[in-house]
Amino acid sequence: MATIIDTIKHKYNTGSMLIKLIFINIGVFLALRIGAIICTFGGFNIETSLLHWIELPSSPAELLTRPWTLITYMFAQFDIFHILFNMLWLYWFGTVFLLTENAKQLVALYFYGGICGALAFIGAYNTFPNFTYTDGWLIGASASVIAIVVATAMRHPDYKMHLIFFGAVSLKWIAIVTIAIDFLSINGSNAGGHIAHLGGAVIGLLYSYMLNKGTDITRPFNSAIDYLVSIWKGVKSSSTKQPKAKKYNHNSSSQQSYNAQQQSASTPNDREILDNILDKIKKSGYSSLSDDEKKRLFDVSKRVK
């Protein structure tokens, strides 16, 4: 068991941001499923005890009481097929996305897609008549994933992906069919979810369009994250680094002082040695000195001032 956990940690630590996003989603999914089992055996209601704190509510008033759900919902899946398809699409299209874009852009687009999907979901529930007096709850990474799917298809429209039963299909057609399915499903049982998907698709289209114009809309997000990270590192380093008390070794200090005095104090014998060496230099030159005499000249000259 420990080996498996170590392997997972290693994969996460050494993996790209794409892999980290997938790991986070899977981790939240497992936590929710385990939490659901605990709720079942404990006699608790799963919706009110667990999902209530993760899902995004359609009511702005309720959202104000749980603002974190604007972020948590886009990392949470409760259905096995929901997370399976979301993570497969995220991995496939994220891998192609990273051929020309960087990991920071991928993460920013993931958040942009999720937030735009959430705003579309809340806006629809509080605008369209068929949602009147109806409360909705949004959960899943679909809006974030579709933002990456659409952006990737826009950036690499003719890149082909092999699909079961269909063979090699260009990304542009996959994106078009995906958007069409969501649009035609608005009047279905998961209307709010499909509207959120379309919100994610819009941000994917906007990202690609603006990038082609020379503007990266993910830059403000990444600049803000870099700033927060630098602040956190500064706080962390200041809290962990304690001023070290200066240690005094009296014996060492005394010894160093004694050695310094010994080195600085000249004796008549030192002067005699120095005079003899200097006389030899005058008669025969510096090159006539032996290595021992050169060393003694250097040592004595430091003591004789």
Query: What is the pTM (predicted TM-score) of this model?
Result: 0.74
Output the pLDDT for position 52: 87
243 has pLDDT over 80:
no
Does a structural domain hold residue 17? yes
Does a structural domain hold residue 268? yes
Q: Are residues 132 and 276 in the same domain?
A: no
Q: Are residues 15 and 150 in the same domain?
A: yes
- Is residue 8 within 8 A of residue 94, CB to CB? The reply is no
Does a structural domain hold residue 253? no
Does a structural domain hold residue 251? no
Does a structural domain hold residue 170? yes
Output the pLDDT for position 299: 72
CA Rg value for the chain: 35
Question: Between 196 and 298, whose confidence is greater?
Answer: 196
163 has pLDDT over 90:
no
Does a structural domain hold residue 238? no
Q: Are residues 191 and 275 in the same domain?
A: no
Given the DSSP bridges, would you call strands 137-138 and 56-57 parallel, antiparallel or unpaired? antiparallel
User: Quick one: which H or E segment has residue 254?
Assistant: helix 250-264
The average confidence (pLDDT) of the chain is 84
Report the number of distinct structural domains present in the chain: 2
At which of 219, 235, 252 does a domain end?
219
Does a structural domain hold residue 177? yes
Q: Are residues 207 and 270 in the same domain?
A: no
Residue 138 structural domain: 2-219
262 has pLDDT over 70:
no
User: Quick one: which H or E segment has residue 211?
Assistant: helix 191-212
Q: Are residues 67 and 145 in the same domain?
A: yes
Q: Are residues 271 and 212 in the same domain?
A: no
Q: Are residues 180 and 298 in the same domain?
A: no
Does a structural domain hold residue 248? no
Q: Are residues 141 and 14 in the same domain?
A: yes
Output the pLDDT for position 258: 43
Model pLDDT for residues 31-70, shown as the tens digit of each residue: 999 998 998 888 887 777 788 899 999 999 999 999 999 9
- Is residue 11 within 8 A of residue 19, CB to CB? The reply is yes
Q: Are residues 214 and 277 in the same domain?
A: no
Mean pLDDT of 162-183: 91
**What region does 136 belong to: left with phi over 0, alpha with psi -120 to 50, or beta?**
beta
Model pLDDT for residues 97-121, shown as the tens digit of each residue: 999 999 999 999 999 999 999 999 9
Q: Are residues 210 and 272 in the same domain?
A: no
- Is residue 186 within 8 A of residue 242, CB to CB? The reply is no
Q: Are residues 129 and 271 in the same domain?
A: no
At which of 165, 196, 219 does a domain end?
219
Mean pLDDT of 260-271: 56
Q: Report residue 300 CA to chain centroid gap.
A: 62
Q: Are residues 173 and 62 in the same domain?
A: yes
Q: Report residue 148 CA to chain centroid gap.
A: 18
CATH number of 36's domain? 1.20.1540.10
Output the pLDDT for position 20: 94
Structure tokens at 155: 């950036």
